Amino acid sequence: MSKPRRTRTILQLLTVLLTLAATGTGAAEAGEPALLHVNHGYGVLDRETADAIEHSAYLKDFANFQVRTTTGAGGEKWTGRYLMGRETYVELFGVGDLPGKDGDLGSAGLGVSAERTGQLSTVVRHLHDAGIANPLEFLQTRDFGDGKPIPWFNGVFTTDQYDTFGAWGMEYRAEYFADPRGNTGPARYPGDISRNRYLPDDYRNHQMRDVTGIRLGVTARDLGNTLPLLRAGGMTVRQLPTGALAFDGMTTIRFDTVPADQAGLRQLDLALNRPTGTRHVEQLGHSTLTAGPGAHARWTFAIRT
């Protein structure tokens, strides 16, 4: 009996997405192309799950998978487990891998980025037009280990007040692409600061191609702070009784409104480079990654209770 229910769910989701495309709200309503697209999402997981992911032999074959420590502005460091695709990637942490409350179990975040130089300033203008009087603009730097940080990306938050989740707009800096240590690709058009140029091409040698869906449990306050940014970036947004859906043309983000103690990353949908005729299930701590059959995978994470 599972197949009819699954089919009905898929049809319902397709109906919602078609409605989003036709009637969504955001800067795109004014005839402008989308300015921001999903760059990456992250979640803080329990230590058992994070360790299982870090040491998984399967993930090293499934995706362009790395474990690395990054040094950002002010010497702040974080250690993440990265699955990198063509235009999007996933960043997974264990409890304590990020500083402060961002390293608490259930914390999560979403970066949405511009594809051309100068687009983030338009997003900031849209935020002002939407009544966000003082969006928080910032510069993130990166240190490759020599103690000489370089500009990495410009960013913007709608607020510095949050419970467990935050989203930010970002625009990669030309200086980063000019630095050979970034190992980025050549520009394909004037002002090219795209995700495709930023990410390496090693995804071609693995199954995972891109993130097509992210499901998150967030508080009502965090959702309220996030949607204005997504709308300002021209993403298609629809509020629901239980949360919201947002769509950038490739990736759907589903937000479920929950109490803070139930917040966190719940699910990832991943596009594969090639269809597979078999179904593979990989248990990684308190998470389950199911790849195939077909050209997709779904990764579910246990909900805290």
Model pTM greater than 0.85?
A: yes
Query: Structure tokens of 6?
Result: 């699954």
Reported as a single tens digit per residue, the pLDDT across 238-296 is 999 999 999 999 999 999 999 999 999 999 999 999 999 999 999 999 999 999 999 99
* Coarse DSSP helix, strand, coil percentages of the chain, rounded to the nearest 5 percent: 30, 40, 30
Sheet arrangement for strand 64-71:
64-71, 77-84, 89-94, 37-45, 108-113, 165-172, 150-157, 136-142
pLDDT over 70 for what percent of the chain?
88
Name the helix (H) or strand (E) containing 38.
Answer: strand 37-45
Q: What is the distance, to the nearest Å, from the Cα of residue 110 to the centroid of all Cα atoms in its chain?
A: 4
Confidence of residue 69 (pLDDT cuts 50, 70, 90): confident
11-15, 60-64, 254-258: segment of lowest average pLDDT: 11-15
Output the average pLDDT for the chain: 90
Most confident of 27-41, 59-73, 120-134: 120-134
Instruction: Supply the pLDDT for residue 27.
Output: 46
What's the whole-number mean pLDDT along residues 55-74? 90
Confidence of residue 68 (pLDDT cuts 50, 70, 90): confident
Q: What distances in angstroms separate CA 180 from CA 64, 156, 176, one per listed residue?
A: 20, 26, 8
Phi, psi dihedral angles at 43 (to 5 degrees): -145, 150
Instruction: Supply the pLDDT for residue 1.
Output: 32
Confidence of residue 71 (pLDDT cuts 50, 70, 90): confident
What is the rounded CA–CA span in Å between residue 267 and residue 215?
Answer: 5
Secondary structure class of 189 (helix, strand, coil): coil
Reported as a single tens digit per residue, the pLDDT across 138-191 is 999 998 888 888 999 999 999 999 999 999 999 999 999 999 999 999 999 999
What's the whole-number mean pLDDT along residues 293-304? 94
Give residue 273's identity as a one-letter amino acid code: N
